[in-house]
Every structure is written in C-alpha cells, then in structure tokens.
Amino acid sequence: MKRNLLIVLAAAVVVIACGTKGSRYTTIIGSYSSSENAPEFVEVIIGNLVDTVITVTDGKFNARIPANKSVLSYIVSDNQPMQFVSDGSTITFDFMEKTVVSSNKKSPNVRLKEYLDWQNDFMSNYQVELATLPEAEQDAYMEKTLETYNAHVKEVIKANPDNVVALLCLSSLNLDDDAEMLELLNGLDKSLKESEDVQGMISALEASQATAEGKPFVDFTVVQDPENPETSTVKLSDYVGKGKFILVDFWASWCGPCKEETPYLQAVYKKFHGPLFDMVSVAISDDPAASKEAVEELGMTWNQIFNGQTEPAYLYGIQYIPHIILFGPDGTILRRNLRGEEIEKAVADAINM
C-alpha cells in the first residue's frame, strides 16, 4: 500500500480519562504459569493519557484501569507489549499464548483482532500474487487491489464509529478524495470526533479543499529571523499572484523524499526560469539553520523562505511533505502534490496553454 500505519506511544502522568460509553473502568486480569516465571510488575499504557505499573503477586494480577475506547492501550510484560482496547469489559491476558480475551464478545478487542488478522492475510496474499505477475500487469493489479482494500476498510470504519478501530482504519486508508474522507470522519461518534487527532484531520482536509486545484491562493506571512522581523518578514504573495507561474516546494531538511525531488526541481528551474516562471521553496517544521545548510548542500539556487514552521502546512492542508504546488499568474492553484517527472510536464503544459 502507499502509506504505512505508524502508532506512536507516549508516556505521561496518570490521568483518569473518560471518552467511552458504558463502564468508566476496565478490569484486567493476568496470570503466569508459575510465580518464578512472573515479573514483579506489568506496565499499562492507555494512549498518551495513562502510563502506570501494576504489581504482580504470586504470579497473578487483577486491577481496574480507566476505560477509553478511543485509543489503543498496551500492557507490557518483560518488555513484551500486547495491545488491547480498554473498553469497560473484563479483559484476560495470556502472556504465553499472546492472547487478549474480553468478556464482551462484541467488544472493540474482538473487532480489532478481526481487522488486524484480515489486514495481515490481505497483504500476504497481495504480495504473493504480485510476485507471480509479469511486470506489465502489476500496475493494474495494484490499482484493483487498492480498490478492494479501501472498500473493506471503509466498511470497518462505518461498523466502528465509537472506537479506535475506526481511527486505525482511517490511518491506513489510501484515498485521494478529500470529500469522501471528510464524510467518513464526520460519521464518527462524538467521543472520537471531538478528539484532538480527528479534529486535526478534519481541519487539514477542510483546508485542502479550500486550497484545491482551481481555488485562489491563500497568503501567509513568515518571520524568517525573529530577532530582525522588519528585514526578514516575507509573504507568499511576494511571489504568487504577481503575473508569473510560480512553483512552490514545501519541504524540510530532515525529509529524505524532499531531497529526492531536488534534481527534478533543479531541472525545471534551469529550463523555465524567466519572465513567465519562477520558483520558491518554503521550509516548514524545520530549524532555519538546518534548512539553510541543506539549501547550500543541495544546490537549491531559487528563492527560499525559511522558518515557515506549521502555518503554511495548516493553511494548505498539507499532511505529508514534499508537497509541490503550481500557481498561475493570478494566484490560482493549478496543480497540487506534484512529484518527479510530472513537475516538468505540469509547468510546460501551463506555460504553453
């Protein structure tokens, strides 16, 4: 698939958190084959809300933890994590068999396992089948497989509007249709929809729609050197909407794929720079000193805006970089998310139209 699902665990102080219907607490039970094989304690992590330890006595533990279906939880025994959903039921852990059993047979834990098992089987079958196909048939097979994958994942999202399974599915979807993604997000239960992560996704998609191809550009201001704001402040409108076609490259020095685009950008700048065309790179979420060093090393000889940080990405709904946008002479957004050889083609088509 095009994107990998990334789950980041963050430790925090203990906080009693709501955010789930039903019981406010989950009972967790575990035992070991003998007290000699048991650790002194297990660690429980509930999203980035709770990180605590539970003492193991005579090879067993039994405790209550806050229920929260909107995040993944982990129980860690001897540095071996097992994931579960703290759903308000009674959950039994078997550390030998690596199983998680909920007293609620329709709980998110059951649906989480079903989804992950399906995903593993689907990807395994996909890779096996892809390896058997001639190269000429692989692209068509990948597109068809992606459609099948997305269709199933969307159904899982709709069946889990109130728990973290939907969020995992949303993170693994491969959709280019922002309106469809917004529809899925707006269909979530209030307990999920009001979370910071989902609100961030909704805001990004709404910004992306507001700055879609055919829409006018949205201006932003960057103070490149906070100690000298009067001489270092620049706006996107200093370049865009001034009568030229402008290619804007949103990038960062720490971004490997951004650096891979440099040869294509260099070729476009060399070929088209002149009265009708110019370029500017905007460094976002990056240290200005690192950005400037990378510009020198990579030979990025066109206009640069340093210290963009997060506002440009927020205004344009950019979730991944590099993100390259072509603006028309009047500031209209002509193309978004250009990559590789399609950059030159897009610029050539625009200038010659």
In whole angstroms, what separates CA 331 from the centre of its chain? 28
Note whether 55 and 74 are same-domain residues: yes
- pLDDT score for 49: 84
Q: Which structural domain, as residue segments, surrounds residue 121?
A: 110-210
Note whether 68 and 191 are same-domain residues: no
- pLDDT score for 353: 65
- pLDDT score for 194: 84
Q: Which of 94, 75, 85 is nearest to 113 (CA)?
A: 85
Sign of the torsion formed by the C-alpha atoms of 160, 164, 170 and 172: negative
Note whether 261 and 326 are same-domain residues: yes
Task: Mention every residue, 6+ apart, whose C-beta is less than 8 A from residue 200.
Answer: none
Note whether 321 and 275 are same-domain residues: yes
Q: Does 332 map to a domain? A: yes
- pLDDT score for 281: 96
Residue 151 Cα distances to 5, 76, 183, 271, 343, angstroms: 17, 34, 14, 43, 31
Note whether 309 and 239 are same-domain residues: yes
- 175 and 150 in contact (C-beta within 8 Å)? yes
Note whether 243 and 340 are same-domain residues: yes
Alpha-carbon distance of 153 to 113, in angstroms, equals: 14
End-to-end CA distance of the chain: 35
At how many degrees (to 10) do helices 135-159 and 178-186 cross?
A: 30
| DSSP code of residue 57 | B
DSSP notation for 236-290: GGGTTTSSSEEEEEEE-TT-HHHHHTHHHHHHHHHHH-BTTEEEEEEE-SS-HHH
In 87-241, which ranges are E strands? Answer: 90-94, 99-102, 221-223, 233-235
Note whether 136 and 197 are same-domain residues: yes
Average pLDDT by consecutive 10-residue portion of the chain (353 residues)?
27 30 83 85 90 92 93 91 94 90 92 94 95 94 94 94 92 82 90 84 86 94 91 95 96 95 96 96 95 95 94 90 96 95 96 81
Q: Which of 346, 329, 326 is nearest to 250 (CA)?
A: 326
Note whether 244 and 293 are same-domain residues: yes
Q: Does 9 map to a domain? A: no
Note whether 228 and 268 are same-domain residues: yes
Last residue of a domain, one of 62, 83, 103: 103
Note whether 95 and 132 are same-domain residues: no
Is the bond preceding residue 312 a cis peptide, omega within 30 degrees?
no
- pLDDT score for 14: 28
| DSSP code of residue 68 | E
Tokens coding 207: 């910004």
Alpha-carbon distance of 288 to 181, in angstroms, equals: 34
Alpha-carbon distance of 105 to 123, in angstroms, equals: 26
- 327 and 333 in contact (C-beta within 8 Å)? yes
Note whether 238 and 313 are same-domain residues: yes
Q: Does 127 map to a domain? A: yes
Last residue of a domain, one of 77, 103, 129: 103
Q: The CATH number of the domain where 94 resides is what?
A: 2.60.40.1120
Q: Does 35 map to a domain? A: yes
Last residue of a domain, one of 103, 131, 157: 103
- Say how many domains are in the chain: 3
pTM for the full predicted model: 0.68
Note whether 244 and 329 are same-domain residues: yes
- pLDDT score for 22: 54
Q: Does 14 map to a domain? A: no
